[in-house]
Amino acid sequence: MMGKAIYMPNGAASEYAKYACNFYCGCSNSCVYCFNKRWGWGDVPTLKKCFKTESHALEVFEMELMANLPELQKHGFLLSFTTDPLLADCSDLTWEATMMAMEHDVPVKFLTKTVGVWTEQIIEHMHDSWKKFIAIGFTLTGRDELEPNASTNAERIKAMRKLHDAGFRVWCSAEPIINIKNTMDMIGKTYEFCDHYKIGILSGKRYDKDELQKFIVWCSGSNKPIYFKDSLLSQAGIRREDLSANCVDRNFKIWEL
């Protein structure tokens, strides 16, 4: 599947979702480590050039959603790889698309660093029967200084607890690992109310192999489903088939918990 809105990501992105939806490029969080900066995208989210207007983008999304409905009902999709979908500049279109997906029983995953009025609004207004199909993920590095315009890691953690207690699926993207101790701290602070972890290294960084192995062993003591990205396992010298039972593959579906 390759559409203007909904498409099948490749490479490392495919480890996060089989299908994704991107409406905007660029992000105002201004994270120092952001991979998207390599594409020249700026600090202001801009509607993708293939869309004339936000209304046109929603029309295209609906057409692609309906054309691939059985597959998307099975696998869901992620918002978004090219921006933070819950930034103020993006959230209206994000929620319109989400509501359309909910009406057709299509699961939606978010990945964000933004905590705002949407947090309380979704808790108050989202239909209870839809909550299990919405998985809200927060990137947690433990390093606010590298994410200058994002909500703080502490604010994200607080929002995770609220959303989990309200009945939503909540997950953590512990990527990139800036420092293993920081990542362990983020996992420890969210363990009680996080349903799933995805963990990955910083592109181009070499880590101490022994420290990575010890970290994976530490994570293996959990009963939470954890996905380690391929590049992390490669540096650690560990085969996926040798991981403990709580370590899931890329096809794990959080909404089936």
Query: pLDDT digits over 80-125, tens only?
Result: 999 999 999 999 999 999 999 999 999 999 999 999 999 999 999 9
Provide the domain count of the chain: 1
Strand pairing report for 20-21 and 6-7: antiparallel
Domain membership of residue 123 as a residue range: 6-256
pLDDT in tens, 9-38: 999 899 999 999 999 999 999 999 997 777
CATH of the domain at 41: 3.80.30
> Higher-confidence residue: 51 or 37?
51
Which of these, 97, 118, 90, lies nearest to 19 by C-alpha position?
A: 97
Residue 88 pLDDT: 94
Contact, 208 vs 184, CB < 8 A? no
The tokens for 176 are: 């990139």
> Cα 48–52–56 angle (5° rounding)?
100
Element (H, E) at 197: strand 196-201
pLDDT in tens, 196-231: 999 999 999 999 999 999 999 999 888 999 999 999
Mean pLDDT along residues 147-168 = 97
The answer as to whether 163 is a domain residue is: yes
Range list of H helices, the chain? 54-67, 69-75, 91-103, 117-125, 153-165, 180-190, 209-220, 230-236
Mean pLDDT along residues 68-81 = 96
The answer as to whether 210 is a domain residue is: yes
The answer as to whether 1 is a domain residue is: no
pTM: 0.95
The answer as to whether 148 is a domain residue is: yes
